[in-house]
Structure 1
Amino acid sequence: MPQFEFDGVRIAYLDEGQGDPILLIHGFASNKQVNWIYPGWVDLLVKDGRRVVAIDNRGHGESQKFYDPAAYGAPVMAEDARHLLDHLEIEQVDVMGYSMGARISAFLTLNHPGRVRRAVFGGLGYGMVSGVGDPEPIAAALEADRLQDVSDRTGRAFRAFSDQTGSDRRALAACMRSSRQKISEADVARIERPVLVAVGTRDDIAGSPQKLADLMPHAEVLDIPGRDHMVAVGDKVYKQGVLAFLNNVDA
């Protein structure tokens, strides 16, 4: 996969297809392959006539790893995404983020509104504003010697996921301790681009998608029936809803 470097930070990405560009930003402990290639998103969007760009966030996948929480944070990673757009000479893009990637996408949209045409916030509802729980049990689970030593349910799920993806758990722990900055209701209300908030109906992490969408002037909700946080990303209802949203020329 291609990589580029800026300010001493090495970022990996993929760039496939032709047409209107869309930037995909994965969730915590995931990467571009797990979040977007394996569930079929890249193939789907390329076949829909789009240029698909997917980033490995710092600390994840093939991108550079850091072990200081100060090196992370959603606003910092939003700037990584912006630098990637600059590197590829893409002026404006649709953007879809999942979970932590949705938070990064929101910061990208807020801080560089001219670069984003429309956005999909997957796997994150009002938790974008209220927060989605204490990061410390997840960070501790990532640092534990063995999965069997982890008792916290959410921490155990993320630890098992990080083991499955072969992630650098120390880098993820640093990321977890700083990556989930809240965004105020007033700032969310400044997002004037069309937004689709897509959340599984059994997702107990994301928070209310409707409550988040209600804050924005041009946002709508896509419920992903019967899906929890970890499996909603590959759901066919999610895919069909995103294609309909992206192909709505009036949005």
Structure 2
Amino acid sequence: MTETFPGFDGAPLALHRLGPEVGEGRPVILLHGLFSSAEVNWLKFGTAAQLAAAGFACLMPDLRAHGMSAAPHDPAAYPPDVLVRDLEALIAHFGLADYDLVGFSLGSRTSARAVIAGAQPRRLVLAGMGLEGLAGWARRQQFFRDMLDRFGTIRPGDPAYLSQQFLKSMGTDPAAARLLLGTMEDTPPEALSAITMPTLVLCGDKDDDNGSADRLAAALPDARRAVIPGTHMSSVTEAAFGAELVSFLTA
């Protein structure tokens, strides 16, 4: 089922739902990766279906400027940490007081910053993320800014080519994506001490796109590390991805 909810500023954001209704099943919010969507990260390869079968009420927004959600071109629609503010709006929309939070890549960055800002999920999953992806995001961000500035002109062999092609395949609005990138800041390692709930750091065995998952797990007060097969792009296609989520969230 797909519906909309109002973002922090009232912008219509798409929300995909699977499993029992909130109140009948345990709510779990799943936040997808950069330039992706809930459909690609959570639905297409069966991850949400595994969670729904385990009794979870899956709430899967398309983040602002992604998927079926609004992609405004007004800079006022992109204040600092806008994705955190939209997540807070989703939590308030459902009146959630007891829920779990799962992120992949950009979704993990958003989830970590939301918890630091005061969100209190029972359990947290940071997938496709390493310490440098939080603390050294500014360097990674510049790569994507350069890709967006040259969007449509990048040729095979260029390091940014695959990112350009993925953006095209997803139908992401480059102008909106460029505005969104400007809302994200580095997260100092010392700030991670605020993430006190049980946390799973989950990455593919060939995924170092966002730095070291081992160092991220070591920097968190109550984290465990899990490894599944795959690269940054392929790990979300593995059945093991959903299996690890179910195991952690039902423990």
- The alignment's TM-score, normalised by the length of structure 2, stands at 0.89
1:125 alignment partner, one of 107, 113, 130: 130
Matched residue type, 1:135: Q
Taking the TM superposition and a 5 Å limit, the aligned residue runs for 1:11-30 are 11-18=13-20, 19-30=25-36
**Alignment coverage as a number of residue pairs:** 244
Alpha-carbon distance, 1:185 to partner: 1.4
Matched, 1:53 2:59: yes
Determine if the alignment matches structure 1 residue 244 to structure 2 residue 250.
no
Q: For residues 1-251 of structure 1, what are the structure 2 equivalents within 5 Å?
A: 1-5=2-6, 6-18=8-20, 19-67=25-73, 71-72=77-78, 75-114=81-120, 116-127=121-132, 128-131=134-137, 133-144=139-150, 146=152, 148-149=154-155, 152-153=158-159, 155-179=160-184, 181-225=185-229, 227-248=230-251
1:37 CA displacement: 0.9
Note closer, same or farther for the CA distance 1:174–1:113 as it changes in structure 2 (3 Å cut): closer
Deviation at 1:150, TM superposition (A): 6.7
Q: 1:132 deviation in Å?
A: 6.7
Return the alpha-carbon distance in structure 1 between the equivalents of residues 232 and 88 of structure 2: 26
Contact 1:27-1:99 within 8 A present in 2 as well: yes
How far did 1:70 drift?
A: 6.4
Does structure 2 conserve the Cα–Cα contact (< 8 Å) formed by 1:201 and 1:223? yes
Contact 1:138 1:159 in 2 (8 A): no
The structure-2 alpha-carbon separation of the partners of 1:243 and 1:219, relative to structure 1 and needing over 3 Å to count, comes to same
> Residues 138, 113 of structure 1: CA spacing in aligned structure 2 closer, same or farther, 3 A cutoff?
closer
Alignment gaps of 5+ in structure 1: none
Of 17-26 and 134-143, more deviation after overlay is shown by 134-143
Instruction: Tell me the distance in 2 between the aligned counterparts of 1:151 and 1:78.
Output: 35
- Distance, in Å, in 2 between the alignment partners of 1:119 and 1:87 is 20
CA contact (8 A) 2:51 2:242 kept: no
State percent identity of aligned pairs. Answer: 29
| Distance (Å, rounded) in 1 between the aligned partners of 2:75 and 2:238 | 32
Q: Give the counterpart letter for 1:101 in structure 2.
A: G
Deviation of 1:21 (Å): 0.7
Measure how far apart 1:240 and its partner are: 1.8
Q: How large is the Cα RMSD of the aligned pairs?
A: 2.1
How far, CA to CA, are the matches of 2:244 and 2:59 in structure 1? 20
Quote how far apart the aligned CAs of 1:66 are.
2.9
- Does the 8 Å contact 2:18/2:57 carry over to 1? yes
- Separation of aligned partners in 2, 1:35 and 1:69: 27
- Any idea what the Cα deviations from partners look like across 1:159-179, whole Å, max 9, x if unmatched? 111111122122122223433
Residues 7 and 71 (structure 1), Cα distance of their counterparts in 2 relative to 1, 3 Å cut: closer
Counterpart-to-counterpart distance in 1, 2:76 and 2:233: 27
Deviates further, 127-136 or 117-126: 127-136
TM superposition shift of 1:118: 0.7
